[in-house]
A and B are shown apart, each in its own frame.
Chain A
Amino acid sequence: MDDLIAARFQMGLSLGFHIVFACIGMIMPVLMAYSEWKWIRTNKQVYYDIAKAWSKGVAIFFAVGAVSGTVLAFELGLLFPEFMKHAGPIIGMPFSWEGTAFFIEAIALGVFLYGWKKLNKWVHWLSGIVVGVSGIMSGIFVVAANAWMNCPAGFTWQNGKPINIDPVTAMFNNAWFQEALHMILAAFIATSFAVAGVHAFLLLKKRGNIFHTTAIKIALSFGVVAAFLQPISGDISAKNLAKYQPAKLAALESLYKTTKSADILIGGIPLGLIAVEAGWIVTEVGRQPWIIYGVMKTKDAVSYMPGLRYSFYVITVIYILLTTIIIWLMQRQIGSLEKNYPSAVTINN
């Protein structure tokens, strides 16, 4: 395998892996905090059980999201050092905000996951809100950095070097808003429908169960609103593409034709997450051959260390292994629901 292709595959794989965990880590705290709020207000056991059951799954997803995110922070340089040498000072600002937001998210999540019995209800609930808000903020910052690669701004390119760097203009480039909006809505849709899907599947086995019906209601109330808003956001994005990256829009249209038949095949649980993956493939692959659109080509940014493909092979094996283990662990968590939560056994008539 060619080293450039290997580097691109590795970056793609790492992003594709991380984005699933990032979405879940961003949105689940919102759903958990909502459920906890309902519990505090109504004092119904089922809301407490749902928030608690979710929080265990989230701990696993968040941990894997955190470590795979750390991998990405390094891979940018490991695979594309030439890119980071020039891009760092320009888009470092959203990254440093992202680091801050993520730091707070990690702290608040520690408080939320382990503070159930130690804190006042409202303080605990508030920590969940902080996780949700800082998670979404960190998502927005990272996407703003990515948007800059698609719509470079805030510098002048001269003799192969950026001069007159203005990090603020770079961050608030022409694509940041629509990309961030689209991503956050996509995260809501994907996560909410995935959660609703899992509980719907479990409900099939245990019809009328209050735990699963309530969980579905919570998840769908977020997912449906986001799904309603997403086409509007998509339209804004497409119009923006038509203006700044027409080639990508064209590719997007043709891609749509070739995958049309797939719509019927995939259904239920993973549909939302597949949409997120497809969306990122459009954003990232659609930018090629540029790493900074119209400024620097990916082949000029890639590391010249020979044998990059071996990194790719190793990372692939590790991520496949992790995915397998996580699926297995989630199955076990789901299997022990009835043992741990009284409301998971209750049947409504």
Chain B
Amino acid sequence: MLQIVIVILVISFALYTLLGGADFGAGIVETFRGSKGEKAVSKAMAPVWEANHVGLILAIVIIFTGFPRVYSTISLYLHIPLMIVLIGIVMRGSSFIFRFYDTDDKTFHKYFSVLFKISSFITPVFLGIIFGAMLLGRINLNNRGSFYERFIMPWFNLFCLSVGFFIASLFAYVAATFLVGETAKTPEQKKYIYLSKIFLFFTFALGIFVVLTAEQECHHLFYGFFKSSLSIAAFIIVVVLVPVIFYLYNHTNIFYLRAVIGAQVILIILGWFAIHFPVLVYEKSGDNLTFFNTAASDATLYQLLIALFVGLLLIVPSFYFLFKIFKRTGPIKPDSIT
């Protein structure tokens, strides 16, 4: 039973990285495309952006129901970056919808746009920082030490920051590739392909940087990687898929391009996950929080599974329907909302 819950948690996490990631990334990519970018992003994202983010709520609910100690530990020790993520989510969602529905006042429109882009960048960086902090092992459950040692040091370091930038770049890569299929004109498409290549390069470079900073902070990511055959396999496939992507860029096959990028992201998550399994939060003295030592009782997991199972039965077809309406037939026309 626990295994199934873990699988669903990983799925909702992958879903969030792909859909939520494309969404956050769109805000980053937009920065490089000016007002044309804004139009493309608004058209592509407006019908789906809220649904894209529910993956996060699902993951949070699974964690606090199924692995309550993980949730309470993260929210206690990583209060500050979590608060920043929350503010980012609020700012981003509101500014997106405000500017989408209020196009008359140019000054305010500009402010909302700036706010949208900034929060689209900061939020994934801090999500990554939280993610890094869970793995670095600076969280001290004994609750001794200064404020800085307890509530800042676990996440404020080069490793966590590089994970943050890695995540932001990965999201931007997903988004740029996604937007290739959302723009009809060939010159615009070329620009998104170019951005996609740039962010692919950045993501790769930052990935290496993550491993280096991990070593510097005495977190042996590299060693863990070589011990996990699943991670090695995932990494090899991700790399092999790069030339495939370059082939697809030139032939602009939207469907396969998206499928390959999706596969890459899911493999990165799986590989990352395999290195650390079953640990969710590394603790300073080695008192790590794992799936096993934090799992709720069977009665709880059973009820959680029923809810998730019924949920997925309803959510998957509705999601398919939503994307079928808005994504297969190309971008929606701007007049369909007014």
In the complex, whether B262 has a CB less than 8 A from a CB of chain A is no
A142-191: which have CB < 8 Å to B? Answer: 165-168
In the complex, whether B314 has a CB less than 8 A from a CB of chain A is yes
Name A93's contact: one of B83, B94, B147, B307 (CB within 8 Å): B307
- 0/1 per residue, B90-134, Cβ < 8 Å to A? 111110111001101100000000000000000000000000000
Inter-chain contacts of B329 with A (CB < 8 A) = 118
A99:B325 contact, CB within 8 angstroms: no
In the complex, whether B236 has a CB less than 8 A from a CB of chain A is no
In the complex, whether A286 has a CB less than 8 A from a CB of chain B is no
Question: Would you call the interface of chain A mostly helix, strand, loop, or mixed?
Answer: helix
Which residue on chain A has the smallest CB distance to residue B151? A305
Inter-chain contacts of A318 with B (CB < 8 A) = 87, 90-91
Inter-chain contacts of A84 with B (CB < 8 A) = 64, 68, 71-72, 75
- 0/1 per residue, A203-232, Cβ < 8 Å to B? 000000000000000000000000000000
A110:B93 contact, CB within 8 angstroms: no
Give the docked Cα–Cα distance between A60 and B101 (Å): 8
- 0/1 per residue, B292-305, Cβ < 8 Å to A? 00001101100110
In the complex, whether B212 has a CB less than 8 A from a CB of chain A is no
A78 and B82 in contact, given A93-B304, A165-B297 (Cβ under 8 angstroms):
yes
In the complex, whether A239 has a CB less than 8 A from a CB of chain B is no
Q: Which 4 A-B pairs have the closest CB atoms?
A: A92-B65, A77-B75, A100-B311, A88-B68
A residues whose Cβ falls under 8 Å from a Cβ of B: 56, 59-60, 62-64, 66-71, 73-78, 81-82, 84-90, 92-93, 95-100, 102-104, 106-111, 113-119, 165-168, 303-307, 311, 314, 318, 322, 325, 329, 332-333, 336, 340
B residues whose Cβ falls under 8 Å from a Cβ of A: 46-48, 50-51, 53-54, 56-58, 60-62, 64-66, 68-69, 71-76, 79, 82-83, 85-87, 89-94, 96-98, 101-102, 104-105, 143, 147, 150-151, 296-297, 299-300, 303-304, 307-308, 310-311, 314-315, 318-319, 321-322, 325-326, 329, 332-333, 336-338
Given A92-B303, A93-B65, 16 additional A-B pairs, CB 8 A: A67-B93, A74-B60, A74-B82, A88-B64, A88-B72, A95-B65, A96-B61, A98-B61, A99-B57, A99-B61, A107-B319, A114-B332, A118-B325, A165-B300, A311-B79, A329-B102
